[in-house]
Amino acid sequence: MRRHCPAALAVALSFGTASAVMADGQAAMQAFNAYCFQAGQTSMQARANMQALAGTPLPFTLVFWDATLEKAPADAPRGVERRCEVSWPGDQPRTAIDALRAQMATPPVFGQPTALPDTHAAQAGTALIEGRELLQGRVAVVHVGTRAQGAATRTFMAVDRLPVSIAPGDSK
């Protein structure tokens, strides 16, 4: 009869869990970079695009809306006309920042750095937050960090698009 070592089993399970978290994070970062910077999507279209890429069900949480195409949620932040955010279990902000930077440097380059609008600020867990000047006077804010969820940590990547009327330094 063969005996199993509980410690070895625990290590194997933790490696399996770590691999799943890494895979979920990779799927989230890939979907974010592929679709969160694309304008002209409804929430259903963005979800369908990401599911085609990452699988169904999505291995991450998606928050997406575009108030220029459909009604924004009642709790939408002031001044944000479009939001795309992915989050997943794990502590991977450095990897997420690297993926985001690579995407923003890929043509067409995603705006030029600019001051943050008054509507946005770093929060606890923020690893990166910056404003990006877009075409037609719009501003985007990219945000990467971690949030506590009970005893667990979740990594998030977000991009908010703001209309011309909410420019850096504008307190409207």
pLDDT tens for each residue of 50-82:
999 998 899 999 999 999 999 999 999 988 999
Distance CA 96, CA 17 (A): 19
Summarised one tens digit per residue, pLDDT across range 118-132 is 999 999 999 999 999
Tell me the three state secondary structure of residue 54. helix
Classify each residue of 64-103 as buried b or exposed e, where b means 16 or more C-beta atoms within 10 Å of its C-beta.
bbbeeeeebeeeeeebbbbbbbbbbbbebbebbbebbeeb
